[in-house]
Structure 1
Amino acid sequence: MNTSSPGVASRGLLLTLLCLMGAGPLLNYGLSTTSSLIIDDLHITEAQFGLLASIVFATAALSSAWLGKVADYMTLRRQLWLIFGGTMAALVIAALSHSYWLVLVAAVIAGPTQAISNPTTNKIISQYVPAEKRPGWIGVKQSGVQASQLFAGIFFPLAALGAGWQGAMVLGAVVVAWMLWFGLRQLPSAAPEISLTNDAAASPLAASASGRLPSFVWLFAAFSLLSGLGMQATNVYLPLFAVRELNFTLVLGGLAAGLSGLIGVASRVWWGRRMATGGTAGVLLLFIALGAVAGGASFWAASEFRLPALLWLGVALHGVTVLGANVVVMSGVMKYVPSERVGAATGIVSMGMYTGFATGPFLMGLLLQSTSNFTVGWLAVAGCYVLCGVVALALIRSRRRRMASAEASAR
């Protein structure tokens, strides 16, 4: 039975969006926070472990553009089954696996469930949330990814202590089953009678009359690729870095990832509010890039000088900056792309993001295996964030050029 009134942007619907964004990454975060146990149990190398996350994000990248289009016409209830059901299947397969190859199968399944989460949630917002509230809702729903990171950082290591890492995966699947039950009850059964217009129709940044997506969508995709590379290299290997190089316990290493997620939750809400109050995407992304460079440098210094305090500084900067980038990007897409093209535009941006997600852990694993430490890897992460700053400057320049062209045409 549907417990929310049709067309009402209820708290239950907002919590459903949080669950939709948080369910898909649970396999990634569960593997990451129990990484030392998995590496020892399956007798694999660090590079092979990094390949697990890369496979998840590679399949997500390959399916993102297509699933973005699918989200424009598939019913929302079916999309909920795809996201939650796919995540449950991936967790159960990982739980039953006694070989590395079966965990790879779980990774392949987990990818598309994450790929469609942004198009699905953006579509729900475009259908049921008034335009003036959308940036705030995007900030809250995007924080679901970091809420998942926080949950996984606490839940999986503690569950693994009592039930092993495979038992922890089973318990994670039970949590996702509850999310599916709750989400189906909260999803409105009919489109609301509210204005679904956004700023795109009147904006000089909007899609062209020919239907082609504007150039800033591709710049957003480039920023998402670069920031995603650094973000997932950090998310996947942060617990292992803390345990191996700074002598943290398994639980404390998981808490480091969890703290990053906790800060990321607040960060995404805050950046969403900045967009809601008229912030310019390019300018905000430039500030995010600068802070992310400082965070990458902190991790490098922690590795070079064996200073745990610098790891905690890096965790804080990681959470405040790069974990909030996707809110600004998705708010920009929702603000300037017509509602009927939101799924397709989100799919393109998600493709860039997941390509970065796939590349980051694999690259970090290769660097770790070849150098036997994290120093070069953290320098590579910081370098990606420098390039993010370059893309942000291109976004600022593109916006100014389009605004000037629009003003000239209006004269």
Structure 2
Amino acid sequence: MKRAPASLLFVLVCAMGVGPLLNYGLSAVSPLILHDLGMTQSQFGLLAGAVFASAAVGSAWLGRFSDRATSRQQIVLIFGGTVLALVVAALAQNFWVLLASVIIAGPAQSISNPTTNRLVVTAVPQAQRSGWIGVKQSGVQASQLVAGLLIPAASLWLGWHGAFGLAALLALALLWYALRKLPAEAPRPRTTAARGPGAREPLPLPVWLFAAFAFFSGLGMQATNVYLPLYAVRVLDFPLVLAGAAAGVSGVVGVTSRVIWGRQMALGRRPSGILIALAAGAVVGVLCLLGAGALHQPALLWAGVALHGATVLGANVITNSAVLVVVPAERVGAASGVLAMGMYTGFALGPFVMGLLADASGGYDVGWLTVGTGYVLCVGVALWLRRYGARSPWPGQGS
């Protein structure tokens, strides 16, 4: 197989990043939205939770769907669904319309991993795959950077409604580009290997352990992503644009970390060892965020932001790369769907729990401690993966 073109890699990055534009945009201008619509913090957490609940509910079915549908059909679902969600958000005048917009955005996000993983398996040579996984997963953090910088700045000019309308136009342009650059593929028959006897066999244990890691890390990841700008404004007195920039910095570091960790996987590093290090670093990061508010030290917040980007935001690269190793090509979509279900369930619960705890306690300390507990559980899951790998080495890699 010839080397895959860079244009396809850009499409994969965009396919991963376009869906979360609404989530990150809402977070970046959360003080404006809460003020304009009279929402509580727990209602805002419900918004963030709803998008990922919507993603989690359909992730397993959409994973299987990606094993059967064409790439063009899946790309239209990802980008077109995002455009629709952003347009609805741009027209929202109350909480319920915003809630509808995030529910629409869910399926577009849940199919992004199965779709892009399948494209990597079918269109990218083996030698490029781990590196490409790292780069394409960084699209999520690129989205965080774009939303953290673009949406607040555009909101000062157009209002937050106009900013989401501008984001919808951007997503529509990316859809046009993606459809032009997708590789040609033969039509898939209705009867495929994904529906054969092998499809009924249980997925291997590592897939479920990766899904558990994705759940606990996702809980803390999205609680942090969603409430970081609001925490910076309300506790550390950051102006709105600087608070959005904090989320953007996390995205920049996250892009870099995902590329670096993807390269480490390409070099044959043990996934469990990397995940242990990432989870331990994430615990230190959340302690920095907790200390920033307790001591009123903005420097600790920036340290926490950097660690958040360097550790937990990179975990998705490891789990997705390893899933491609432990399942056959015809089951990549199904396994990716299980992984996405764990991740998006954590994404759904994290912001909702954080918002409830913030309203109930009048602060963020209890929420940060809950996030830290989730990361400690990630360490435990990664140690289980290491023990499994010692007993049953995976094909092509260690544990």
Please give the TM-score of this superposition, normalised by the length of structure 1.
0.92
CA distance in 2 between partners of 1:232 and 1:32 (Å) = 10
Summarize deviations over 1:131-161 as a string: whole Å, max 9, x none: 1211000000000000000000000000000
| Residue 7 (structure 1) shift | 7.2
CA distance in 1 between partners of 2:45 and 2:60 (Å) = 24
CA distance in 2 between partners of 1:111 and 1:7 (Å) = 35
**Which residue of 2 is the match for residue 227 of structure 1?**
217
CA distance in 1 between partners of 2:302 and 2:363 (Å) = 19
CA distance in 2 between partners of 1:299 and 1:147 (Å) = 22
| Residue 387 (structure 1) shift | 0.4
**Which residue of 1 is the match for residue 353 of structure 2?**
363
CA distance in 1 between partners of 2:176 and 2:159 (Å) = 27
| Residue 333 (structure 1) shift | 0.2
Matches for 1:89-108 after TM superposition, within 5 Å: 89-108=84-103
Supply the RMSD in Å over aligned alpha carbons: 1.5
| Residue 359 (structure 1) shift | 0.3
Matches for 1:136-155 after TM superposition, within 5 Å: 136-155=131-150
- For structure 1, the 5+ residue unaligned runs are 1-5, 192-207, 405-411
Alignment of 1:134 onto 2:103 = no
**Which residue of 1 is the match for residue 383 of structure 2?**
393
Matches for 1:325-340 after TM superposition, within 5 Å: 325-340=315-330
Alignment of 1:161 onto 2:171 = no
Confirm or deny: 8 A CA contact 1:8 1:128 kept in the other structure.
no
| Residue 403 (structure 1) shift | 3.2
| Residue 190 (structure 1) shift | 2.7
Of residues 26, 49, 52, the one that matches 1:57 is 52
Summarize deviations over 1:168-194 as a string: whole Å, max 9, x none: 000000110111011011101136xxx
Alignment of 1:44 onto 2:39 = yes
Of residues 268, 273, 284, the one that matches 1:278 is 268
Q: SS at the partner of 1:175?
A: helix
Deviates more, 1:313-322 or 1:297-306: 297-306
Alignment of 1:67 onto 2:67 = no
Summarize deviations over 1:290-328 as a string: whole Å, max 9, x none: 000000110111111111000000000000000000000
Summarize deviations over 1:186-213 as a string: whole Å, max 9, x none: 101136xxxxxxxxxxxxxxxx997321
Please give the TM-score of this superposition, normalised by the length of structure 2.
0.94
Taking every aligned residue pair, what percent have the same amino acid on both sides?
Answer: 57
Partner AA of 1:225 in structure 2: F
Of residues 398, 402, 409, the one that matches 2:392 is 402
Confirm or deny: 8 A CA contact 1:63 1:112 kept in the other structure.
yes
Confirm or deny: 8 A CA contact 2:199 2:331 kept in the other structure.
no
**Which residue of 2 is the match for residue 346 of structure 1?**
336
Alignment of 1:261 onto 2:255 = no
| Residue 289 (structure 1) shift | 0.5
Alignment of 1:84 onto 2:79 = yes
**Which residue of 1 is the match for residue 290 of structure 2?**
300
CA distance in 1 between partners of 2:392 and 2:15 (Å) = 35
Q: SS at the partner of 1:98?
A: coil
Of residues 100, 109, 118, the one that matches 1:114 is 109
Q: SS at the partner of 1:188?
A: coil
Q: SS at the partner of 2:78?
A: helix
Partner AA of 2:330 in structure 1: E
CA distance in 2 between partners of 1:103 and 1:9 (Å) = 39
**Which residue of 2 is the match for residue 176 of structure 1?**
171
Partner AA of 2:45 in structure 1: G
CA distance in 2 between partners of 1:27 and 1:222 (Å) = 26
Instruction: State how many pairs are aligned.
Output: 384
Confirm or deny: 8 A CA contact 1:7 1:128 kept in the other structure.
no
Confirm or deny: 8 A CA contact 2:206 2:326 kept in the other structure.
no
In the TM superposition, structure 1's runs of 4+ consecutive aligned residues that sit over 4 Å from their partners are none
Summarize deviations over 1:75-117 as a string: whole Å, max 9, x none: 1101111000000000000111111101100011000000000
Partner AA of 1:156 in structure 2: I
Summarize deviations over 1:312-359 as a string: whole Å, max 9, x none: 000000000000000000000012211000000000010000000000
**Which residue of 2 is the match for residue 9 of structure 1?**
4
Confirm or deny: 8 A CA contact 1:298 1:314 kept in the other structure.
yes
